[in-house]
Each structure stands twice: as C-alpha cells, then as structure tokens.
Structure 1
C-alpha cells in the first residue's frame, strides 16, 4: 500500500476515511486533529497551568508529548504530570518508570500520588477487604478524587487526560445501556464547579489504534501492560462490542459521538447541572453531604 498523500509506503489504512497514510502523514494527521480540537475549545491558553494525568500508557504519553511539543516553548504555559499509584502489584511499578522517562525527556515536572498515602491502603488491599463492587468502582472513585485534589494543590487550572475517541464512545454507550441518561448530560458540564479542576481531552477525536501507532512512530516510552483487573469491567465488554461494530461498519465510533453531540444540549436542558456541596468529612466537592470516596472508606473500614 502507498500513502495517498506522498506515495511512500503506508503504515495504516483508515477505513472510516478511506485514506492510506505513511508514518509521517499518520503523525501529522493525529497532531492536526488534536490541534484543531484544542483550538476549537480553547483547551490551552496563555497563563494556563495544565496538570496532565499520566498512567504510563500510550494515551497519556501521546497527550503529554503533543502538549509539550506544541506549547513547550511558551513560558506563560506550564505543565505538570501527575501519576496516581493505586498500588496494583505487577502493574504500576512497571508503568511509573515509563512516565518518569518521558517527563525527563520533555522537561516536565512529575508528581506521584499513592492510594496508600492518601486513602489509607492500596487497591489490592481494598479488594481483599470487600468485594461488593467491581474493582473499577473503587479505583475510579479514588483516582478521580486524587487527580483533582493534587491538580488543585499544585495550582493547576486545567486537568488534561488521555481519553480518546474509543473511551468517549464507550462511555456514551455504557451510560445508555445502564439507562443513566442524567450522567450523559454531565459528560459535557455547562459551567465550572468550585473545587473541581476543569478537564480537557485533547485526544477525544483520535481512535485508540491510531494513538498506539502514533506512540510507536514517535518512539515514546510507554507501558504496554493491561491492568490485571480490567477483565472485571463492563466497559471491557462494551469495548469489544464497539470494536466489532467498527470493524464491520467503519466510522461507528465517530457516528456515536456525532449523535451524542447533537442531543447533549437537550439533555443538559432537562438535567440541569446541580451545584456541588462540600463533603462534611473530607471537604472535597460532592453531590451529597458525604462524597463517594468517604462512603467507600467507611464501607471498607478505612479510618477517615
């Protein structure tokens, strides 16, 4: 196969666009889409301090690399990488060194926040104490809480995550399958909530497989391993289903997000954004008087 733009050997065929692209044009295509989205939504502007959630995987590596290369020479914009160490044996101890390697290469400060220090025990220990919920429930609640808390503490006014097209399409479909329409409305918040650092998702228009290829072509350090608890998640089943649909009907993931974007304003009108309270125990932003993190701590008998 030859690249449709320059005639060199192609490294990818984008079935949804019908384009064959060589390595250089695949890199350029990813970066073009990311920069277009960032311009449209003014994701990064002068004066910003952007915290970047770094797992050590391909998505976060690509996010930090593109942000640093795009804005790194502008002294009025600052980046800090934050890694949440959940305490998963045989997983985070391999991925954290990859984050450090990339941050050293890009000259970006790196902060590691651990479940053990901040929550009171590791995820592995939590799951030994109680198994009423899937592991992703505990992990997701505490990881989001700690990312937001640390971003706020370091003075960041935005929090960038590596969520890609696949992630967003899965989330939309997952909420539809769960009948949680109100949560769909919250995927596009109408305003900034006190105590919550606004999130940006530079990769939201890029399919996962293209990000993986981009990371390889750019020779970014990242960890290929999968979380050992990933098989427990319903999201994994939704991911497989969507990939099957995408294989048979190219463009399905883009179609899901276009459909969602066309109805989200109506959803936000029906399900108005509720002002957050402060958790009476820890002071973090919460819908209820007690946040989900403190509720989980009480259930697994962690001292608050």
Structure 2
C-alpha cells in the first residue's frame, strides 16, 4: 500500500452477504494477511445478523433484480458501519471501465442525471453520510488485473455471483466492456478521455443532487421518508 504523503488510518470492511460468498471472504482475509502494514478487517455477516439473505428478500418483495437488493444493502452498511467505527470516508473498488459502462447504459435509458454521482470523490451531504472516494476512478479493469498479477496479489478469476443464473447475467453490460476496449485499439486513451468527459458532465449536474434526510425508522440518510433498507428488511 502506498502511504507516502498520505495521512490516513486505513482499514478494510467486508459485507458477507450470505454463506455462498465464503470464497470471497476467505480471499479477502488472505489479501489482508499478505499486505504489508497493520490493516484491520471489519466484517458484517448479513445473513447471521439479519437472519435472511438478499435472495430471500428479493423473493419476498417480488424483486426480479436481486442486484438492486444487494446494492441497497451494501450502500447502507458501507455508510453506517464505518461511520460507527469512527471513519469519515469510505473507498470503493469501482474502476474506470465500470463508470464508462454505467454512463453509457444510463444515457441509453434516458437517465443521464444519474451521472451526477460519477466523480472521483463524492462529498458528504448529510451529517451521517460518509464521503466516498474512488481510488480506481482512472484505472481500468485490465490494468487492475495486470497490477494484481505482477504483484502476486490473489484474486478470484472465475467466481460468478451465486444469486444469479446464466439467464440473469447482464450480457449487454459484458458486451459494452469488450466494445470500449475495441475502440481503444484505434483511439488511443479513449477510456481515459471518456471518463474525464464524464466528470465534466457530472460537474454540470451537481445542482440536481438533492440533500438526503433522516429515515424515520433508523435515522440514516435517505431521499425518502423511510429508507429502502428498512423497507426491505421489514423494520418496524
């Protein structure tokens, strides 16, 4: 871990969504063990703590897109738990290719305003909301993979989400990843120029962001009276 010129206490946080994700959990523990430095790993066992899984919740609320359930759970816990531990920022692993494909899909679905959050850092907009930083915002998936291989950092090569079957995997998304690399073969630095263009657009959309309010059930930041997390787990 590069620490020169950086004054920060860094810890790791993992959300174990269900026992089906044990391979990822075990890999993370190995990565933490191999890292030079004193990095503490905090873990939330969602299935154990809430006595359910994202897949069970999806079936209960009749949500076909289980990915949206997992995303809600992760956003909620990644903000609440680190904040409770005294941290003021949370870093996520989305990389440059992710944001480019997110942007293309949002644009095609005629929802470009979602790009307002496509920034290297999102400042806090609520006393209980952590600032979010994205260290890999200008680093692509292939570069990230190459870095791991050159530095002997273990990663899962063939892990597929156990909640999805082949029919549920977003083929369109995977095709877009391939396409942006094909374009870069004849348009040098295409991805880097694209992501910087997205930031320019995001800056123009900042005024459309609405400040969150406190959830009436749990007090966490939300845009609604009762946050989606509370609604999903049936909090009373």
Instruction: Please give the TM-score of this superposition, normalised by the length of structure 2.
Output: 0.84
Q: How many residues align?
A: 226
| Residue 223 of structure 1: aligned partner | 156
In structure 2, the CA distance between the partners of 1:119 and 1:287, relative to structure 1 (3 Å rule), is: farther
1:38-53 correspondence runs (5 A): none
| Residue 91 of structure 2: aligned partner | 160
Runs of 4+ in 1 over 6 A off after TM superposition: none
Residue 210 of structure 2 aligns to a residue whose secondary structure is: coil
In structure 2, the CA distance between the partners of 1:182 and 1:248, relative to structure 1 (3 Å rule), is: closer
71, 85, 89: which one aligns with 2:16: 85
In structure 2, the CA distance between the partners of 1:172 and 1:88, relative to structure 1 (3 Å rule), is: farther
230, 238, 243: which one aligns with 2:173: 238
Distance 2:202 2:30 in 1: 39
In structure 2, the CA distance between the partners of 1:155 and 1:108, relative to structure 1 (3 Å rule), is: same
199, 202, 211: which one aligns with 1:261: 199
| Residue 169 of structure 1: aligned partner | 100
Instruction: Please give the TM-score of this superposition, normalised by the length of structure 1.
Output: 0.67
| Residue 111 of structure 1: aligned partner | 42
| Residue 3 of structure 2: aligned partner | 71
My pick for the range that moved more, 126-135 or 137-146, is 126-135
My pick for the range that moved more, 141-150 or 99-108, is 99-108
Q: Which sections of structure 1, spanning at least 5 residues, go unmatched?
A: 1-68
In structure 2, the CA distance between the partners of 1:190 and 1:223, relative to structure 1 (3 Å rule), is: closer
- Shift of residue 144, structure 1, vs aligned partner: 1.1
1:96-245 correspondence runs (5 A): 96-106=25-35, 107-188=38-119, 191-193=123-125, 194-224=127-157, 225-229=159-163, 232=168, 234=170, 236-245=171-180
Distance 1:257 1:104 in 2: 33
Residue 63 of structure 2 aligns to a residue whose secondary structure is: coil
Which has the higher Rg, Structure 1 or Structure 2? 1
Q: State whether residues 173 and 238 of structure 1, in contact with CA within 8 Å, keep that contact through their aligned partners in structure 2.
A: no
- Shift of residue 97, structure 1, vs aligned partner: 1.3
